[in-house]
Structure 1
Amino acid sequence: GWSGLSERLHDLSTRGAWEEMGDLIDDEMLEAFAVVAEPDEVGRRLLQRYGGLVTRLGLYTPYLLDDETRRRIVSDLRG
């Protein structure tokens, strides 16, 4: 489990140890809180996970999306 993780993350954050915090987050944990996918799969994966549950989504990416990729994601979300 993830028992005690929040305390360790908090401790590291108070010391500014941001990279060390990332070392504590594995793929399973990341995917529990985020949709992780290639740009051409993001819309489908969001729809699969949140379709019927939400009417709005915020999309944060580690880089700027080009217009075509944004349009494809929106199109996939609309089904």
Structure 2
Amino acid sequence: MQFELSTPNLDAAKLAAALRPLDPDARVVFDAGRGRLEVISVATAAQVLGVLDGIGCPATPLEKEVHISGGSTCCGHCS
């Protein structure tokens, strides 16, 4: 699942640490330049949004997934 974050200057380690109580095996890929986050987890989107809001980072789910380097949306055809 992917989200657009409203708060700049976050790092992936902080985001992963915040999500760890929901899913210790969650993986995150964060594109700081675009403010986009991909979360690969057993947690629901609502749970992830709640955690993000709890750390002061309101987010909205992306309706259409985009390529985030290292994430699961990679089809292998980027030039």
TM-score by length of 1: 0.25
Q: Which has the larger radius of gyration?
A: 1
Task: Tell me which of the two structures has the higher relative contact order, counting C-alpha pairs closer than 8 angstroms and 6 or more residues apart.
Answer: 2
Q: Which one has a larger percent strand, Structure 1 or Structure 2?
A: 2
Q: Which one has a larger percent helix, Structure 1 or Structure 2?
A: 1
TM-score by length of 2: 0.25
